[in-house]
Structure 1
């Protein structure tokens, strides 16, 4: 990638200026229009319209026309006056500004032509004085003009004549005669003036009417050509509203005698212009990106780059964002695709933004998308893309290919897309490695110039892999460090790491590295699960993520090392709660308990390994004090794993012995309290009968709890008593 720190100037919405490259061949058009302006100027004055869509290059063409006029020989060269009515505050100022600029234009001609004859200089001076006098009188007549109805056909010499009667006799107030005098003077002067008025269609409707009134009925002098730039469709609508007429286009035809249409550039010209300038901004990119970039420019660029302004706007967006993103090594085709949509279809961009945020939430396991929600999103997408593009199968395929979990559909009865589909781990990992827009770790770089708060930085990943290579203790320390870095109220960067390991990364590990990581997980997973029963029902717990990783790690361990590693993990691993969840998983998967037997391909352990592991774990349970088991983050997980692995009486005996004292019973029941999430009651605590009854007589326990004398209990037990009593009451409300 090009790492140059060369500044990338933003062009903005400005016309071509001297030295700019004419990418669309407007220079030839400008030369011909300039020639026509001089050859066909009307002695009575003329109003010419330069008509083109917003962004089509009207201002640039106007600039080029002015440049061509400046090239003419002095004796044929007209004076070009640039009039910008949107800078003027009110009607009186509008009139005064126009005539003052005309005066300045006449004076400039007089000054610049030092070799003119005395008679010629006198004529210029005379014309300037009369224009200045007329401007002053017209400005004074502003109040009367304010009262005149808008329709331009009613404004003319009669109004000016009437306005003259308002002034004192000592003043030269007959505007009609002043205009006639100035008209004769300008005609006698024989010098042509071209007054350009750009962006007429951007004025307010009332202002549009004033400008048109001015050029057609008040300032229609000989040898003066008005060149108005506008989009006729927009201007006609403004006239319709401002003049209160039924047909704004027909009204405009009464004002503008001649129209020059801004030539519409070929779409391939616009795409080539964009591609050439984009290459200067981003520099060289990998071949794979270059091929996809061509498709982006052809597909999305062909749709969005419909005017020169859109080319300039999207290039400016790239110039603005690229310096900040260059060092992030993001995917250039993805960035260009998103910017084309951002500038060409803002509502569709917002949809994409929302979709990516939701997809990242699902990928992380902290959210889900309902069928109804997905259906609503899909309907919005179809409406935003539009029927024309939805009918283009190639475009649908191309669009779906940019976003995670999206597929194009082609059946007659199908909606055109499937969204929020499951993203395979290999596909997700490829997007992350490529720092693509579809990456759950990098999409925010494209949307907000910010990396996601949940992402594990590359430096942290490098440090983690070095630890994995070094040994299990270093790996455990690296995991503990990530466990101290929260990314939400319930998750840490350790969650993020394990989520990302469930993909191609594990396949690349050596046998010893897989062994180190598995042993490390068996050491720290209980430390990562201090709020085991508090997770929201839509959240994948860190145990679930670690379990997925463990299954794949075992597959990577060499056959001659496997038995020893399995024994070490289950016999010595401190994370007894997490190991119990693995044991319970295998108990059901192998059909040792219940009716959920799975195929051998889904087993983590072989049949023989399970027998050995179950024996090892039962021995560990039997040797553990009840207090140690009940203080675990998920004690019920251990009790069920113990019973379902083949020792059904063991946990019951332990519970019975512990429950002989009131303190012990409260310790047992406190360990069995779980949280329930309800739409009507919110979150509250209960003792689930289905979880507790396999190990304790729940009714007898409840009776004891509500008859206990709190004064005989330890301080800790008194706290348990209040919690357990409340849980029993909530349990009764649910039944």
Structure 2
């Protein structure tokens, strides 16, 4: 049994369950750290807000690194600086950890391995020599201003310069030579070391600066990869305070060479450089993707690729993210567009991430966005993008083309975009099939290298398609199995499958499969309701989703087959509650009851003959039902109204009147006539109203009898409960 004990704010550890689905993300990060990182060393930042799961993901990355094959497995050093008292101790501790691990590498080395004992011992000796000399030199590290005003790292005390730092001051030859020997021996050893440093942003500002200096200068060594875990906003502020610089984020970018955001982001010459290098990383699948990629490089590249560093960082980001996405046929143009924005404007990247999540929820019917929120999101977009960015109409068009439901406005007045506009089914399905950023099933791949938790798999479709080719019973079994599986929010996999079939997949079904699916729905939808009940005020229930699918499936059949399928569905379907739901919709849509006949495009049953058949069949079924069976259906009151609205005014009155002659029968009958009211101050309230009782029983007489029964000991409890429901009904 799953424990619901409060575990506190701590990261995942050995034996803990990965409830956030970070394992696959961690596995891909681990593989990229080993396969894609340069032998010159690398500093990777694992970025995310406090509480977003950074430490858990960091643990999983370390765990995945230890599971790699022996030949590819790096040595992982979990360096925890908050346990160490001061700057000198930080340096000593990290070097000691590295030295100890080099000794372990030497012990594990042998003639049968790529690493020789001699090389490992040589690297260990070089490291200890450098450590000793550095200790004697004082190891002082300080910041000096550079031309950018950000600050550069150098050694003070004995005056040793860190490699790649300020030019003009010669380092002492002895210490410099020792570091060169250490660099050469580690490069020759050819073994990877991954140093993980968690919660950097929780240190004091001065300690943060020492850690960053440490990984970028003092221990900037070949084949040593650092994985730092932090909140970039917090870290940038701490750097500004500790280093007395104006731009903490720019300083941080000099230290961190590549970032991974945790999952809930001359100009022509630069673009040409980027485009030529990109061809070595990935190629477009078809002409459409190639043309979109060209536009992305011209439009977004022209805005974001302003420096050589921005080109290198963008290319490195794509090298890091593209290999796992390529395996699942993701869209290269979408990835390049997003990575250019991430490296050039992280605020805009995060806005896109949030927008895509909301747009996906809208597509699934699990969210609403009112006009006020649309205005807020538009203001947030303009603030993140920067002032007057969207004045360029060409860029406005290219930006909107990447995202679902974003429509550009090219008039001289009004906002630049309309957000969260309705996306037609065909456009949505094309995005899903192409695994685009605009796909509600695949957008998260581009942010977290993982599909959304609600995404359907090809295996899911294969299982259903096999069942559709077999029988209605097998199809119903599969649909109910999907109904038991959570997807997103209150949605199940059955909800998503119905949406996908309705969205266009039904066109792939032959006549037999259409009939099998119709009968499966007619047999299983009441059980689906019992598995996942919904109230009558659901924004878009599963019954609502399945309703138009009936019309689409019937439309795939020839007229004679269509009539037979309609009769079989209503006559043999076991889901009497859902069939009643469909039936009532058609009675109103065709104008058989009520005064608002709807356009035939809203009809599920395409002809009056089909509706006549349904009326005849359903009236016959209603008359044959016992009151107990009616009350056990998902919505008994709806069934009784359907019986009357189909033309048999007396039938339900006679059934309920007969059953209500006894005192016990009256209370049971009234209990089945309750309904729910959605109030503004009390939420959903269950009531017994005159409108529900009057069509089937004499209201005044029924109330009088219940009041009398409330005074009798035998019926007091049940009758009092009924009276409370009646009193509630009088208020609405």
**Class of the TM-score when normalised by the shorter of the 2 chains:** 0.5 to 0.7
Indicate conservation of the 8 Å contact 1:10/1:319, yes or no.
no
**In structure 1, distance between residues paired with 2:512 and 2:161:** 88
Deviations 1:237-268 (A, max 9, x none): x9xx9799xxxxxxxxxxxxxxxxxxxxx212
Specify the alignment match of 2:327 in structure 1: 327
Q: SS where residue 709 of structure 2 aligns?
A: coil
RMSD: 3.7
Q: CA deviation at 1:628?
A: 0.5
Query: Quick check: 1:88 aligned with 2:86?
Result: no
Summarize the Cα distance change of 1:290–1:529 in structure 2 as closer, same or farther, 3 Å threshold: same
Residue 106 and residue 571 in structure 1: after superposition, are their counterparts in 2 closer, same or farther (change >3 A)? closer
Q: Which runs of 5+ in 2 are unaligned?
A: 1-27, 43-136, 145-153, 163-168, 179-204, 210-239, 247-265
Matches within 5 A, 1:664-683: 664-683=665-684
Q: CA deviation at 1:401?
A: 1.1
Identify if the C-alpha distance between structure 1 residues 697 and 375 changes in structure 2 by more than 3 Å, giving closer, same or farther. Answer: farther
Match of 1:79 in 2: none
The aligned counterpart of 1:417 is 417
Shift in alpha-carbon separation, 1:719–1:632, aligned structure 2, 3 A: farther
Q: Which residue of 2 aligns with 1:695?
A: 696
Shift of 1:429: 1.0
**How far did 1:287 drift?**
3.0
Change (3 A) 1:524 1:592: same
Bigger Cα displacement from structure 2, 593-602 vs 685-694:
685-694
- For residues 702 and 686 of structure 1, the distance between their equivalents in structure 2, rounded to whole angstroms, comes to 14
TM-score, L = length of structure 2: 0.64
Q: Report the counterpart of residue 660 of structure 1 in structure 2.
A: 661
Work out the CA distance in 2 between the residues paired with 1:680 and 1:506.
43
Candidates 36, 39, 63, aligned match of 1:9: 36
Alignment partner of 1:97 out of 158, 162, 186: 158
Distance 1:301 1:655 in 2: 73
Aligned to 1:123: none
Report the CA distance between 1:699 and its aligned residue.
4.5
* C-alpha separation in 2, matches of 1:307 and 1:13: 22
SS of 2:527's partner is coil
Distance 1:719 1:435, change over 3 A: farther
Q: Distance in 2 between matches of 1:389 and 1:532?
A: 47
Which residue is equivalent to 1:651?
652
2:522 is matched with which residue?
A: 522
Cα contact 1:673–1:724 (8 A) shared by 2: no
Aligned equivalents of 2:529, 2:371: Cα separation in 1 = 31
1:636 aligns to what? 637
The alignment status of 1:730 with 2:728, answered yes or no, reads yes
SS of the equivalent of 1:685 reads strand
User: SS at the partner of 2:686?
Assistant: strand
- Tell me the distance in 2 between the aligned counterparts of 1:307 and 1:347: 19
Q: 1:492 to 1:592 in 2, by over 3 A?
A: same
For each residue in 1:436-468, what CA deviation from the matched residue of structure 2 results, as whole angstroms up to 9, or x when unmatched? Answer: 111111112222233222222210111101211
Contact 2:160–2:175 under 8 Å retained in 1: no
Deviating more after overlay: 655-664 vs 368-377: 655-664
Q: Summarize deviations over 1:449-505 as a string: whole Å, max 9, x none.
A: 332222222101111012112232221221121122133674321111112222221
Q: Which moved more, 1:326-335 or 1:496-505?
A: 326-335
**Separation of aligned partners in 1, 2:684 and 2:39:** 54
Shift of 1:560: 2.8
The 3-state SS of whatever aligns with 1:485 is coil
Per-residue deviation, 1:538: 4.8
Contact kept? 2:667, 2:722, Cα under 8 Å: yes
> What is residue 310 of structure 1 aligned with on the other side?
310
Match of 1:432 in 2: 432
2:397 is matched with: 397
Quote the offset at 1:543 in angstroms. 0.8
> In 2, Cα distance between the equivalents of 1:463 and 1:478?
8
Which structure has the larger Rg over C-alpha atoms?
1
Question: Which residues in structure 2 correspond to 1:243-322 (within 5 Å)?
Answer: 266-283=266-283, 285-322=285-322
Counterpart-to-counterpart distance in 2, 1:480 and 1:105:
75
Indicate how the Cα distance of structure 1 residues 378 and 536 shifts in structure 2: closer, same or farther if over 3 A, else same: farther
C-alpha distance in 1, partners of 2:652/2:531? 23
Cα 1:727–1:105 change in 2 (3 A) is same
> 1:608 and 1:283, CA in 2 relative to 1: closer, same or farther beyond 3 A?
closer
Asked if structure 2 preserves the Cα contact closer than 8 Å seen for 1:365 and 1:538, the reply is no
- With over 3 angstroms needed to count, the CA separation of the structure-2 counterparts of 1:696 and 1:532, relative to structure 1, is farther
Report the alpha carbon displacement of residue 721 of structure 1 after superposing the two structures with TM. 5.3
- In the alignment, structure 1 segments of 5+ residues that lack a partner are 16-83, 112-202, 208-237, 245-265
Asked if 2 retains the 8 angstrom alpha-carbon contact of 1:8 and 1:320, the reply is no
The answer (yes or no) to whether the contact 1:571–1:616 under 8 Å persists in 2 is yes
CA gap 1:444/1:679 in 2 versus in 1, 3 angstroms: farther
Contact 1:522 1:578 (8 Å CA) reproduced = yes
Q: Write the distance in 2 (CA, Å) between the matches of 1:494 and 1:586.
A: 24
Deviation, structure 1 residue 520: 1.2
SS at match of 1:470: coil
**Relative contact order higher in (CA < 8 Å, ≥ 6 apart):** 1
Task: Please give the per-residue CA displacement for 1:83-136, whole angstroms capped at 9, x wherever unaligned.
Answer: x99961599x9753338996855789999xxxxxxxxxxxxxxxxxxxxxxxxx
Give the whole-Å Cα distance in 2 for the aligned partners of 1:604 and 1:378: 38
- Aligned twin of 2:385: 385
| Counterpart position of 2:685 | 684
Equivalent pair of 1:688/1:731 in contact (CA under 8 Å)? yes
Going from structure 1 to structure 2, the CA distance change for 1:269 and 1:667 (only over 3 Å counts) comes to farther
1:345 corresponds to 2:398: no
2:159 aligned counterpart, secondary structure: helix
Change (3 A) 1:105 1:475: same
Shift of 1:312: 2.1
Could you tell me how far 1:341 is from its partner in structure 2? 1.6
Aligned partners of 2:337, 2:441: CA distance in 1, in Å?
19
Contact conserved, 1:12 with 1:312, CA < 8 A, in 2?
no
For 2:469 and 2:450, the matched residues in 1 are separated by 31
For the residue of structure 2 that corresponds to 1:684, the secondary structure is: strand
Aligned CA distance change for structure 1 residues 433 and 12 (closer, same or farther; 3 Å): farther
1:28-39 to 2 correspondence within 5 Å?
A: none
In 1, Cα distance between equivalents of 2:599 and 2:310: 57
Q: Which SS does the other structure have where 1:420 is aligned?
A: coil
Distance 1:650 1:395, change over 3 A: same
The residue aligned with 2:22 is none
Q: Could you say if the C-alpha distance between residues 626 and 110 of structure 1 is closer, same or farther in structure 2, counting changes exceeding 3 Å?
A: closer
Higher alpha-carbon deviation: 416-425 or 319-328? 319-328
Quick one: distance in 1 between partners of 2:177 and 2:580?
Answer: 99
Superposed CA offset, 1:502-528 (max 9, x none): 222112221222111111111111111
Q: Is the contact between residue 468 and residue 474 of structure 1 (CA under 8 Å) also seen in structure 2?
A: yes
CA contact (8 A) 1:532 1:633 kept: no
Judge conservation of contact 1:442–1:452 (CA < 8 Å) in 2.
yes
- Secondary structure in 1 aligned to 2:158? helix
Q: Quick one: distance in 1 between partners of 2:531 and 2:691?
A: 21
